[in-house]
């Protein structure tokens, strides 16, 4: 049985916004807080009751806000603190929650803490970062190159797990822990309801190992942040490289007072080897990961997070679905596979209209620091065309193009020139067109979320898998008391799927056709109540 706090958080449906690309309210080509406030009814209609904002804090934007220079102020391009207060009020007026992105592992090197720290060993901020005379190991940065950078001002090396301008904070210094607690409390006092915590597994390090993260004090630090009375009510989800259930239990078991849940990434590797290399994968492997984690989290009374896209990933239908002829079918089929399981749904902007990956003929239109650095390295061993194909497949920009609200000028995102090129398919795939079509991905998501909301069986009900591992489809039931529902999700091929019981007519289905014969079209899905 889930604890009471987790049971209530299970009712949250979270929509992730990349503020820079969601809606521009003042025509400068950059999405902003007022743009988000203006779209809350669109989200409410979808069935969402919480919003997670990627970082909105002051930042030089080398990594689009994940390089923070002031945790307590709003990025100029996004608006003001008054705009943030208004957004929080507008959310709460609609009974919606706000989740902020907390980035505790690193700051921008333009943060005053770093500017002070680099001045020398006598400075009060001297130990806010990791400084070494000699590089202590050969760790690499996630955005390529060495994770160590020489700072000529201080005459020492500092650690940066990501860009050179993102210096890792030294959590072994109690003043850093205190500063981050104060940051959390500042936003709690503003009324935020939860946090998504960036690379939480990296805040404790052991320099003698060959991997950055999961250091010996990780759980102590998480507890320092969220195990306090002031933070006990929050919803917290950590971005983490956790790969086994025991480790997840240590993070998320209710009695540990650490995190509500984690974003795990096993299933995100479906369809590729590393970020930039496609592999012929199928929905089968997605299903197997989903089943594995569903069963484990259920067994151990953990709160599970259901997500398949975010701002770092190419949309799923371009990774393992069919983003051309069967775009609607595969987008909705995958939604049923994932979001009728037990856990908190996270929906990334654009996912609700079946947005796909983009395609460009030149590296010049890419903005993402990771993509650009990888392209440069790829070009050392392959042709520019091959390198560009990899970037087109895996670039984080695939998820960062302006939200396509309509097929008109700038996709309805802005009256000015957008900060990044429009999605290459925005005229074909946009909100206006989706809503007007008889095959609307948005309407399917809306119906799915309404079904979850109306039937507790989709929240609390036990999940049982009916399909066998070799079956090219996914069939599962959810059972609560005397109520049982079945969900059938077919994969790529048409086939007959027989059920061991009879059902009422489907309440949710992506194809409107009589399927009483048990033959399912490619990517067809349906959810129905079982007749007991
Ligand atoms: C996380 C974020 C990513 C960011 C990185 C560094 O992985 O999701 O966007 O670049 O952390 O903060
Ligand atoms: Ca703007």
**Ligand 1 atom nearest residue 369's Cα:** 10
Count CB neighbours of 198 within 10 A: 20
Catalytic center residues: 198, 239
Whose atoms come closest to the Cα of 24: which ligand?
Answer: 2
**Nearest CA, atom 4, ligand 1:** 66
pLDDT computed for residue 516 by the predictor: 66
pLDDT of residue 272: 87
Task: Answer whether 370 contacts ligand 1 (Cβ < 6 A).
Answer: no
Q: Cα(422) to centroid of ligand 1, in Å?
A: 22
DSSP 55: P
Residue of 312, 370, 396 best suited for mutating to test ligand 1, as the one with most atoms within 8 Å of CB = 312
Supply the pLDDT for residue 269. 87
Q: Cα-Cα-Cα-Cα dihedral of 128, 133, 136, 141, to 10°?
A: 60
Ligand 1 touching residue 71 (CB < 6 A)? no
Residue identifier of the C-alpha nearest atom 9 of ligand 1: 312
300 in Cβ contact with 261 (< 8 Å): no
Nearest 5°: the CA angle 78, 80, 81 is 125
Q: Is 348 in the pocket of ligand 1 (CB under 6 A)?
A: no
SS3 string, 169-183, reads ECCCCHHHHHHHHHH
The finding on whether 369 has its CB within 6 A of some atom of ligand 1 is no
Query: In this predicted structure, what is the pLDDT of residue 512?
Result: 80
- What's the confidence (pLDDT) of residue 75? 98
Q: Which of 199, 202, 311 to mutate to test the pocket of ligand 1 (most atoms within 8 A of CB)?
A: 199
Evaluate: CB of 237 within 6 angstroms of ligand 1. Answer: no
Name every residue whose Cβ is closer than 8 Å to that of residue 328 and which is 6 or more positions away in sequence: 354, 439, 441, 510
262 with 238: CB under 8 angstroms? yes
On whether the CB atoms of residues 131 and 159 are closer than 8 A, the answer is no
Residue 283: which H helix or E strand, with range?
Answer: helix 283-299
63 C-beta closer than 6 A to ligand 1: yes
Q: Is the CB of 103 under 6 A from ligand 1?
A: yes
The closest ligand to the CA of 38 turns out to be 2
Neighbours of 464 (CB within 10 A): 13
pTM, rounded to two decimals: 0.98
Phi-psi bin for 191: left (phi > 0), alpha (psi -120 to 50), beta?
Answer: left
Q: Which atom of ligand 1 is nearest to the CA of 396?
A: 9
Stretches where the chain sits below pLDDT 70 are: 513-516
CA 270/CA 286 separation, integer angstroms: 6
- Residue 81 CA to ligand 1 center (angstroms) comes to 23
**pLDDT for the residue numbered 331:** 98
What is the pairing mode between strands 166-168 and 106-108?
antiparallel
Indicate whether residue 6 lines ligand 1 (CB < 6 A): no
For 381, half-sphere exposure in the C-beta direction (CA atoms, 13 angstrom radius) is: 4
As residues whose CB is below 5 A from the ion ligand 2, the structure lists: 24, 26, 28, 30, 32
């Amino acid at each position: 049985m889930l604890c009471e706090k987790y049971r209530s958080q299970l009712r949250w449906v979270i929509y992730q916004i990349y503020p820079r690309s969601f809606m521009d309210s003042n025509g400068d080509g950059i999405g902003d807080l007022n743009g988000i406030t203006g779209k809350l009814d669109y989200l409410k209609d979808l069935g969402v009751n919480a919003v997670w904002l990627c970082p909105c804090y002051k930042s030089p934007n080398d990594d689009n806000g994940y390089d923070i220079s002031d945790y307590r102020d709003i990025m100029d391009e996004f608006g003001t603190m008054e705009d943030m207060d208004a957004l929080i009020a507008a959310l709460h007026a609609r009974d919606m929650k706000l989740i902020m992105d907390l980035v505790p592992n690193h700051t921008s090197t333009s943060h005053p803490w770093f500017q002070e720290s680099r001045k020398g060993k006598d400075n009060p901020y001297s130990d806010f970062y990791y400084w070494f005379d000699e590089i202590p190991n050969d760790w690499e940065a996630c955005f390529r190159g060495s994770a160590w950078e020489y700072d000529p001002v201080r005459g020492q090396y500092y650690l940066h797990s990501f860009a050179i301008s993102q210096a890792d904070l030294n959590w072994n210094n109690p003043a850093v822990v205190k500063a981050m607690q104060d940051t959390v409390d500042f936003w709690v006092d503003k009324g935020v309801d939860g946090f998504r915590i960036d690379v939480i597994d990296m805040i404790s390090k052991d320099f003698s190992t060959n991997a950055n993260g999961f250091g010996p004090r990780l759980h102590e630090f998480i507890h320092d942040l969220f195990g306090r009375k002031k933070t006990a009510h929050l919803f917290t989800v950590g971005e983490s490289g956790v790969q086994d259930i025991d480790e997840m239990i240590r993070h998320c078991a209710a009695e540990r007072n650490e995190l509500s849940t984690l974003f795990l990434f096993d299933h995100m590797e479906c369809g590729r080897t590393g970020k930039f290399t496609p592999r012929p994968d199928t929905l089968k492997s997605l299903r197997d990961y989903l089943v594995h984690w569903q069963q484990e989290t259920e067994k151990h009374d953990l709160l599970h997070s259901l997500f398949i896209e975010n701002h770092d990933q190419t949309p799923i239908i371009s990774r393992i679905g069919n983003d051309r002829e069967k775009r609607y079918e595969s987008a909705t089929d995958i939604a049923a596979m994932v979001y009728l399981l037990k856990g908190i749904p996270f929906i990334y902007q654009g996912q609700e209209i079946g947005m796909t990956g983009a395609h460009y003929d030149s590296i010049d239109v890419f903005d993402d620091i990771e993509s650009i650095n990888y392209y440069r390295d790829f070009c050392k061993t392959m042709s520019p065309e091959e390198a560009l194909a990899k970037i087109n497949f895996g670039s984080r920009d695939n998820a960062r193009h302006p939200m396509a609200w309509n097929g008109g000028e700038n996709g309805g995102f802005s009256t000015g020139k957008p900060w990044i090129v429009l999605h290459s398919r925005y005229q074909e795939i946009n909100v206006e067109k989706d809503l007007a079509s008889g095959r609307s991905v948005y309407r399917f998501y809306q119906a799915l979320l309404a079904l979850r909301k109306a039937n507790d069986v989709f929240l609390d009900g036990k999940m049982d898998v009916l399909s066998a591992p070799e079956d090219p489809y996914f069939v599962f039931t959810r059972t609560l008391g005397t109520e049982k529902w079945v969900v059938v999700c077919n994969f790529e091929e048409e086939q007959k799927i027989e059920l061991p019981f009879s059902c009422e007519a489907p309440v949710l289905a992506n194809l409107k056709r009589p399927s009483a014969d048990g033959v399912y079209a490619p990517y067809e899905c349906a959810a129905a109540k079982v007749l007991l």
